[in-house]
Chains A and B, each alone.
Chain A
Amino acid sequence: MLTFVIKRIVISIPVLIGITALLFIMLNVIPGDPIALLMKEHASADVIERVRSQMHLDDPLITRYFRFLFAALQGDLGVSIKLNRDVTTLILNAFPNTLILTICAALVSWVIGIPVGVLSAVRRDSLVDHLFMGFSLVGVSMPIFWSALLMQYVFALKLKWLPVSGFYGYQYVIMPAIVLGWSSAGVIARLTRSSLLEVMRHDYIRTARAKGLRELLVIRRHALKNALIPVVTIMAIQVAGLLSGAVITEAIFGIPGVGRISVNAIQARDMPLLQGSVLFATVLVILGNLVADILYSVLDPRIRNEMKGGSK
Chain B
Amino acid sequence: MLNKVKFLMATGLVTIALASNSLAADHVLRIAYQEDPKTVDVQMTQDFYTLPLNVYDRLVEAETSGPGQTQLVPGLAERWDVSDDGKTYTFHLRQGVLFHNGEELTADDVVYTFDRMLDPKTKALSTDILNFVDGATERLEGTTTSVPGLQAVDKYTVKVVLKEPYAAFVALLASPGASIYNRKFTEPLGDQYGLTPETTNGTGPFVLKEYNLNDNQILAANEKYFKGRPKLDEIIIRVVADSETLRLLFESGELDVFDIDYAPTQLPYFIGSDQWKDQVRSGPRVGMYYYHINQALKPFDDVRVRKAFQMAINRDEILQKNFYGKGAIENGVIPRGISCYTAATPIEYNPAKAKALLAEAGYPDGVDINLTQVSSWSSKWSDMNQIIQAQIKEAGFNAQIKTMDESAYFASRKAGTVDNYTQNWSADFNDPDNFFYTFFSKSGTAVRGYNNNDEEVFAALDKARSMTNAEERCALYQKMTDRIVQEDAAWVPMFSLDHAYVVQPRVKNFVVPWNGWSDMSYYKMEVE
Contact = CB atoms under 8 A, between A and B. Distances in A.
Contact of A168 (B18, B44, B127): B18
A116 to B, nearest CB: 29
A216 to B, nearest CB: 37
A45 B447 contact: yes
Interface stretch (B58-66, B233-241, B358-366, B499-507): B233-241
B18 A44 contact: no
Contacts of B446: 45
Q: Size range of the interface on B?
A: 35 or more
B245 A254 contact: yes
Contacts of A19: none
Contacts of A37: 406-407, 410
**Interface SS of B by simple majority:** helix
A47 B125 CA distance: 7
Nearest to B250: A164
Nearest to B251: A157
B100 to A, nearest CB: 21
Contacts, number: 163
A214 interface: no
Given A96-B5, A163-B254, A254-B239, A40 B46 contact: yes
Contact of B376 (A34, A160, A267, A269): A267
Contacts of A82: 38
B242 interface: yes
B195 A85 contact: yes
Contact of B8 (A43, A48, A160, A168): A168
A37 B5 CA distance: 35
Interface stretch (B164-172, B209-217, B456-464): B209-217
B48 to A, nearest CB: 11
A7 to B, nearest CB: 29
B248 interface: yes
Given A153-B248, A254-B239, A100 B5 contact: yes
Interface in A156-212: 156-157, 160, 163-173
A54 B122 CA distance: 9
A284 interface: no
Contacts of A165: 240, 242, 245, 248-249
A212 B277 CA distance: 73
Interface of B: 1, 4-5, 8-11, 14-15, 18-19, 38-39, 44-47, 120, 123, 125, 127-128, 140, 191, 195, 212-215, 238-242, 244-245, 248-249, 251-252, 254, 376, 405-408, 410-414, 423, 425, 428, 443-444, 446-448
21 contacts: A33-B407, A36-B410, A36-B413, A40-B47, A42-B47, A45-B414, A45-B443, A50-B140, A82-B38, A83-B213, A94-B214, A99-B1, A164-B248, A165-B248, A165-B249, A168-B8, A168-B18, A169-B19, A251-B241, A254-B215, A267-B405
Please provide the 6 A-B residue pairs with the shortest distance between their CB atoms, ordered closest to farther. Answer: A32-B407, A42-B46, A96-B4, A256-B214, A256-B215, A36-B410
